[in-house]
Amino acid sequence: MLDDVDRRILRQYQRAPELTLSALAERCAITQATCWRRLERMQEAGVIRGQQAVIDWRAMGYEVEVSLRITLDKTAPRAFDEFLAAAREIPQVLEIQTFLGRVDLRLSVIARDMADYQRLYRDHILTLPHIADIEALMHVARIKSDEVLPV
């Protein structure tokens, strides 16, 4: 299990994953050797799974981001599997989530502009299998996006 030192490391490291080992150790007020050992152990235990680069799609010309909330026709036995397999084929889909709640699924999709979005929606989204209902929510702004876990 994790102790207070591990948690301190994770708190600092989540906020600044680009820190060098020595800078991270300094912020946590521990030695570099301790910091390295703790990180190594958390990686081996699978608590730390890695690091990924975060892309700013706007900087790549994708101005529109839409959340599509989808309800499936569950009378079809393989509705989820077939829908998910088809959704994975659309490059503009960034996230696929399934839920227990009022909606079954959410797709996060990006497009270059509204005309591009309309094309994507008509030609690729509406043609996905087993859709019973679909609602679109347009993103205006990200207020908080660090996804830090309160360890």
Partner 1 sequence: MIDLDDMDRAILRRLVVDATQGAGAIGRKLGLSQPATWRRIRRLQDAGVIKGRQLLLDREKLGFGVTVFLGVKLATKGRVSLEDFERAVTAIPEVQTVEHILGLYDYRLRVVARDISDFERVLRRRIMTLPGVGDVEANVLLTEERRPGPIA
The binding site for partner 1 (CB under 8 A) comprises 2, 10, 13-14, 17-18, 45-57, 59-62, 67, 69, 88, 91-103, 106, 110, 135-151
In eight-state DSSP terms, residue 9 is H
Smallest distance from the beta carbon of 31 to partner 1, in angstroms?
A: 21
Nearer Cβ to partner 1 (11/76): 11
Task: Dihedral sign for Cα 100, 101, 103, 109, please.
Answer: negative
Residue position matching structure tokens 């087993």: 130
Tell me the residue length of the chain.
151
Nearer Cβ to partner 1 (69/131): 69
Nearer Cβ to partner 1 (29/100): 100
- Residue 115 CB-density burial (10 A; 0-12 exposed, 13-18 middle, 19+ buried): exposed
Smallest distance from the beta carbon of 106 to partner 1, in angstroms?
A: 7
Smallest distance from the beta carbon of 34 to partner 1, in angstroms?
A: 19
